Amino acid sequence: MIEKKLNPLMLVGTGSDVGKSVLATALCRIFQQDGYSPAPFKAQNMALNSYVTPDGKEIGRAQAVQAEACKLPPHTDMNPLLLKPNSEHTTQVVLNGKPIGNRSAYAYFRKEGREELRTAVHEAFDRLSARFNPIVMEGAGSVSEINLRESDLVNMPMARYADADVLLVADIDRGGVFASCYGSIALQTEEDRKRIKGIIVNKFRGDIKLFEDGRKILEDLCKVPVLGVVPMFNDIVIDAEDSVQLEYKHHNALQGKINVAVVLLRHISNFTDFSAMEQDERFNLFYTTNAEDIEDADIVVLPGTKSTANDLYWLRRQGLANAILRAHRAGKKVIGICGGFQMLGQSVNDPDGIEGSIKSMPGLALLPIDTTLTSDKITQQVEFEFGGHICKGYEIHQGRSTNSQKVVNIGNCWGTYIHGFLDNEVVINFFADGKGDNKSSWTSLEDYKEEQYERLANHIRKHVDIPQIYRIITHK
């Protein structure tokens, strides 16, 4: 049976963090459940949370998650342009999975040179569109940043190129949903307004029946149907795109749990490294910038960062470096991943100014390594041995350390460049230290993720008019 050709569908937002990525993930799984062969696409992503594809290239984590929902391996065509903010007002530009240099915001958004990037993202979309059906597209930030209209690569100009139907996503929890929806549509050109075929009101709290009048008012005001009002949920776990949510994950130490303090670095990256431990009922994982929290924890984690030397300097200024050392002397376990691993060594050196103006910083000296940052970037999926088992993960880092072991361990301190280190059952069971008969709370992380994608799809089917979406994107 030949599947019916569907038009590309793009989700745009009234602002950042309105839930576009999660809704796109849900639609990817729904189309896959219904027998189609969907694939995600986001022309340009700005995030420090990235992922390495099987061929050793880098894309935004959100598109890797959406690929999983489609039951596909992630590919750079799904996110051809990735921006990774550095310290000191510059951004690393990753094109088709490989860094092409650092640029200031002004230099990046100026008109000169944009057509080269525009051509690259269009070519990626064309390759993807030739293989998959439908393409579930995602915009970025607010769709109504009219001052950036001419240089925009990811919102309505991309929708025009793809001839996509567009749904506008609004976050009712932050307030102002009527003004944000009306303004987002009214500020479009006449041509682009015609592309917006529906509104999804996201993150609703309370009784949805109370919004029936609001729904009608919104439709009359915007001249666009409201295709769904999606309740806020806290019981479905989908990897997030950025670190905004981490500010709310502060908890006190709990009796009877293994308390894990993840230091909330200013330039934290790949915080999804802790998703498995966060969901394991044996652990109480929280993010903190408080020295007492660090000293009281059973395990202290230094996560990855986009600016190692800068965040190491910040650790010292905040008194957190000494708190980590005191916890280590008290016998607490200390784990460093990627940039955190570099910080645990003897020194971090940046002679060429790869990350910024700090040329060298002494490390915490808990591990026998010295690190020099280099312009070439390592991005690869890897295997490593732990406790007699072969484990998997991936590396994304600029820099070389003097110890070539995949996992370096001295006493109660561990360090590794491997993201996904704590996703492996044998590793997480080791750090569980015998609690719960040393068994994780789920059969496997893969099974757990699959369950979450299915639950998410069911949640969205219940609250969004999926048949109407099919009517919108079906070619006449």
- Active-site annotation, residues: 338, 419
Alpha-helical runs (H) found in 187-281:
190-195, 212-222, 275-279
Distance CA 177, CA 179 (A): 6
Type of residue numbered 27: L
Closest CA to 426 of 371, 372, 475, 387: 387
Cβ(257)–Cβ(282) under 8 Å?
Answer: yes
User: Three-state SS for 202?
Assistant: strand
Q: What are the two backbone dihedrals, phi and then psi, of residue 141, each rounded to the nearest 5 degrees? A: 60, -140
Closest CA to 299 of 445, 437, 439, 433: 433
Closest CA to 101 of 119, 83, 128: 83
Question: What are 252's two structure tokens?
Answer: 């006190």
> In Å, how far are 41, 82, 92, 101, 257 from 45, measured between CA atoms?
10, 5, 12, 16, 37
Cβ(208)–Cβ(179) under 8 Å?
Answer: no
Distance CA 6, CA 350 (A): 50
**Pairing state between β 81-85 and 44-46:** parallel
Closest CA to 355 of 397, 416, 394: 397
Distance CA 417, CA 397 (A): 8
Question: What are 305's two structure tokens?
Answer: 């960062």
User: Three-state SS for 11?
Assistant: strand
**Pairing state between β 98-104 and 90-95:** antiparallel
Question: What are 358's two structure tokens?
Answer: 């700090």
Spatial neighbors of 202 by CB under 8 A, at least 6 apart, are: 18, 19, 23, 169, 170, 171, 172, 173, 230
Distance CA 395, CA 404 (A): 13
Spatial neighbors of 62 by CB under 8 A, at least 6 apart, are: 21, 24, 25, 42, 45, 47, 49, 79, 138, 239, 240, 241
